[in-house]
Amino acid sequence: MKAAELMIKCLEREGVEYIFGVPGEENLDIMDALLDSSIEFIVTRHETNAAFMAGTYGRLTGKPGVCLATLGPGATNLLTGVANSNMDHSPIVAITGQAGLDRQHKISHQYYDLVSIFEPVTKWNTQVKKAEIIPEVVRKAFDVAQGEKPGATHIDLPEDIAAMEVEGKPLEIIEPTIMEAGERVITDAAKLIEQAKHPLILAGMGVERGQAEESLRTFAEKADLPVVHTFMGKGAISWKNDQSLLTAGISGKDYITCGFEQSDLIIAIGFDIAEYPPKNWNPDGESPILHIDTIEAETDANYPVKHSVIGDINENLKQLEKVISSTDRDNKWVANVREKTLNEYETFADDTSYPVKPQKIIHDLRSVMNEEDIVISDVGAHKMWMARMYHTFEPNTCLISNGLASMGIAVPAAISAKMVHPERNVVAVVGDGAFQMSSAELETAKRLNLPIIILLWRDGGYGLIEWHQRREFNRTSNVKFGNPEFLQLAQSYGFEAIGINEAGELKGAIKKAVAMNKPVLIDCPVDYSENMKLTEKLGEILS
């Protein structure tokens, strides 16, 4: 068989369901081999979006998503999505076609050294120089991608290698084992928590990866510990739980940030510093850290680790819950923070102003969505509002990319999420800037007959940058742009399209979109004057 056929057999052994990508001349043999495979190739309209889809698949399933591009511009287009997955710790295996070995020693059409280009944005990557090593390369790519902490790997397959005849078979899969912390480590951690007067849990995305949500809840309740979520850790415990201090991460002060100031021990669980820079919540580096994760902490002056509990997060939390004393702390401040934050959420429920305020959009969306439904936020001003105010019951029901935080992710991510969870409603929350970076994938959603909902926040500019400019300089610079008629654009792709002409229409429009069970775009003008009002409000907390 050809080397390309052997690679496909190896991918099948790894349990690959889909490959997202754009075909090209240098991966012709791979594309042909897929015709006889159980793997479905999902043709996307841009390679970056293919990687976004694969990364979202990896985040939601825990299994590496796979994406493919050809050499040169196909590969460099793929790069941003691969980098995004790597920084978000979503397992992904990227495959690129490549020029034959016979022309890599000289300047050649579309040839770049892709192993060098992908090296900074992957956990591991390599080029296949001999067909016989394909089983080892594929097995290692998947093993490394899903190992702690998960991320991206890359396989570069030259076209002449892909076409070679070879004998071989896939390697057997050996499931990795994550060790548990020792008894003394657990005991010391429990003592540290018991001695603290105002300890606080910071829950990151690793809680969900470790399937430790239930263990976290019982541990927090027994030790009477409030839980703050990062953007990517949202849902580690339900927002209805009295221990939940909801989500932190917006720049500057917030009610929740005050909780960090009161804490004399921050228990970081499944937390990665890319999720929420420690200098934002421990600016003087004076609050000690109890680091509970699968690997040792990154060195950071604002993240002073007093003690580490390394290994299986779920099992280690279970052991901590067993040995720690039941506690009834003076946590009146927790109830106070919850009340202020939740009151802010309810205040705009009946707001009738138009364009629609961000708080109103979020309230109406949350009131329609079921607990298990998936909402995906793109990057922009709306992301800050969604992170702060879209409250969650379960993990991975509000997906926010906050590592690389690349614009354009929400629409392709919604496509992938709907493929993984066809039984759930899936909504992409996008700004008009980010939407036009990946709007071509509306055709992909329609072609695949995926009833995703796109909730478009339209303001005619890069709202988040304008927010920063007004806060920093009290004026704006080059953030406005024109837009197409979004309803016509969506309809041209075969989407149903709903325009919002007054605030009272929004909730009904979301309900209607859900009931249609078709691809739908909702065009909602947003009033981003609320951005600076929020800045002023948070500024008052400083006093």
In contact, 152 and 122? CB cutoff 8 Å: yes
Q: Residue 428: in which H helix or E strand, if any?
A: strand 426-431
d(CA 261, CA 269): 18
Domain ranges in the chain? 3-162, 183-332, 348-542
Cis peptide before 358 (omega within 30 of 0): no
In contact, 319 and 185? CB cutoff 8 Å: no
- In tens, the pLDDT along 397-450 reads 999 998 898 999 999 999 999 999 999 999 999 999 999 999 999 999 999 999
- Of 329 and 43, the structure prediction assigns the larger pLDDT to 43
- In tens, the pLDDT along 335-353 reads 888 888 888 788 888 999 9
> What's the CATH architecture for 3-162?
3-Layer(aba) Sandwich (3.40)
**Token digits of residue 150:** 């998960």
Give the contacts of 184 (CB within 8 A, at least 6 positions apart): none
Cα angle vertex 402, ends 436, 179, to 5°?
140
**Token digits of residue 88:** 């978000």
d(CA 293, CA 513): 40
pLDDT higher than threshold 50 for residue 542: no
DSSP conformation class of 461: B
pLDDT higher than threshold 70 for residue 539: no
pLDDT band at 251 (very low <50, low <70, confident <90, very high): low
- Give residue 252's pLDDT: 59
- Give residue 16's pLDDT: 98
- Which among 369, 405, 375 has a CA at the least distance from the CA of 249? 405
Q: What is the pTM of this model?
A: 0.94
In contact, 358 and 526? CB cutoff 8 Å: yes
Decide: helix, strand or coil at residue 199. Answer: strand
User: Three-state secondary structure along 146-161?
Assistant: HCCCCCEEEEEEEHHH
- Give residue 347's pLDDT: 86
**Token digits of residue 13:** 């052994």
Decide: helix, strand or coil at residue 293. Answer: strand
d(CA 275, CA 282): 14
d(CA 459, CA 465): 13
pLDDT higher than threshold 60 for residue 540: no
d(CA 521, CA 102): 49
- Which residues are paired to 307 by β-bridges? 290
Question: Can you tell me the mean pLDDT for 153-170?
Answer: 94
Sheet holding 265-269, edge to edge: 244-247, 227-229, 199-203, 265-269, 289-293, 305-310
User: Three-state secondary structure along 220-254?
Assistant: HHHHCCCEEECCCCCCCCCCCCCCEEEECCCCCCC
- Of 242 and 254, the structure prediction assigns the larger pLDDT to 242
In contact, 54 and 66? CB cutoff 8 Å: yes
CATH of domain 348-542: 3.40.50.970
Q: What residue ranges in 255-322 does DSSP mark as E strands? A: 265-269, 289-293, 305-310
Quote the longest CA-to-CA distance of the chain.
73
Q: Residue 135: in which H helix or E strand, if any?
A: helix 134-146
Give the contacts of 118 (CB within 8 A, at least 6 positions apart): 75, 79, 82, 94, 125, 154, 156
32-46, 296-310, 317-331: least confidently modelled range: 317-331
Cα angle vertex 321, ends 316, 325, to 5°?
140
pLDDT band at 99 (very low <50, low <70, confident <90, very high): confident
- Give residue 541's pLDDT: 47
Give the contacts of 368 (CB within 8 A, at least 6 positions apart): 507, 510, 511, 514
- In tens, the pLDDT along 100-142 reads 777 878 777 778 899 999 999 999 999 999 999 999 999 999 9
- In tens, the pLDDT along 401-416 reads 988 989 999 999 999 9
- In tens, the pLDDT along 345-380 reads 888 889 999 999 999 999 999 999 999 999 999 999
- Give residue 314's pLDDT: 96
Q: What percent of the chain has pLDDT over 90?
A: 76
Q: Region of 517 please: left (phi>0), alpha (psi -120 to 50) or beta.
A: left
Decide: helix, strand or coil at residue 465. Answer: helix
DSSP string, 94-116: EEEEE--GGGTTS--TT---HHH
Average pLDDT, the chain: 92
Give the contacts of 323 (CB within 8 A, at least 6 positions apart): 186, 187, 190
- Which among 300, 425, 316, 419 has a CA at the least distance from the CA of 53? 419
- Give residue 543's pLDDT: 33
DSSP conformation class of 23: -
DSSP conformation class of 266: E
- In tens, the pLDDT along 12-32 reads 999 999 999 999 999 999 999
- Give residue 533's pLDDT: 79
DSSP conformation class of 200: E
- In tens, the pLDDT along 33-89 reads 999 999 999 999 999 999 999 999 999 999 999 999 999 999 999 999 999 999 999
- Which residues are paired to 18 by β-bridges? 40
d(CA 442, CA 216): 38
Number of neighbouring beta carbons within 10 Å of residue 468:
17
pLDDT band at 334 (very low <50, low <70, confident <90, very high): confident
Tell me, yes or no, if the two domains 183-332 and 348-542 fold the same way: yes
Task: For domain 183-332, give its CATH number from 3.40.50.1220, 3.30.830.10, 3.40.50.970, 3.90.1570.30.
Answer: 3.40.50.1220
- Give residue 345's pLDDT: 80
